[in-house]
Amino acid sequence: MTLVEIAPPDFDVSLDLAYATADNFTGEPVYARAACYLHQEAAEKLAQAITLAAAQGFRLKIFDGFRPTEAQQVLWNHTPDPEFLADPARGSPHSRGAAVDLTLIDGAGDALDMGTPFDAFTPLSHHGCTEISPTAQANRSLLLGLMTAAGWDFYSKEWWHYQLFDSRRLPLISDGELEQGLM
């Protein structure tokens, strides 16, 4: 298992790890410790996306990366919706260190309008949704372009979610496998 910590200064990102706070769809912290990790391959692709975003004057703001299998179970127990959450029985790309939830921020640190907040479990969150403002549609397209140019796959129902292609080839990782757990 090779997980890389995603944090400045090694990665020029803003961290807003939603599941380490009560500001998420469960209404309470899921992680006891705020830290972001990705599989080595995902970290390399994230570095490419950071470079592409910076060339256009943007930075990435990360909401979640690696999610221990135990955390996936907590989320599923709260909201067992397979349209927006992977069933822990089959595993999530997040629980393999192969997915990241993020948005774009401008030079002032303000998030670009994406039409919905992160983890808005509605059809308005789908890529290609035309029921959001043209500005939000353009911002989602910009994020999609940057991430796919850096080698990421996307999930069509969540504008914020990107993952490695064929992420199931990687093993699921539990919290106990980390040197210092998140849970």
**Residue of 108, 115, 113, 119 lying closest to 67 (CA atoms):** 119
Least Cα distance to 68 among 100, 93, 43, 95 occurs for 95
- How many whole angstroms separate alpha carbon 97 and alpha carbon 43? 9
Residue 28 designated active-site: no
Return the ∠ at Cα 61 (arms to 85 and 133), rounded to 5°: 75
Within a 13 Å sphere around the CA of 118, how many CA atoms are in the beta-carbon half?
Answer: 21
Vertex 87: Cα angle to 80 and 115 (nearest 5):
65
Tokens linked to 142: 């910009």
Q: For the chain, how are helix, strand and coil distributed in percent, rounded to 5?
A: 30, 15, 55
Give the active site residue among 44, 158, 177, 179. Answer: 158
**Any idea which residues carry the catalytic annotation?**
158
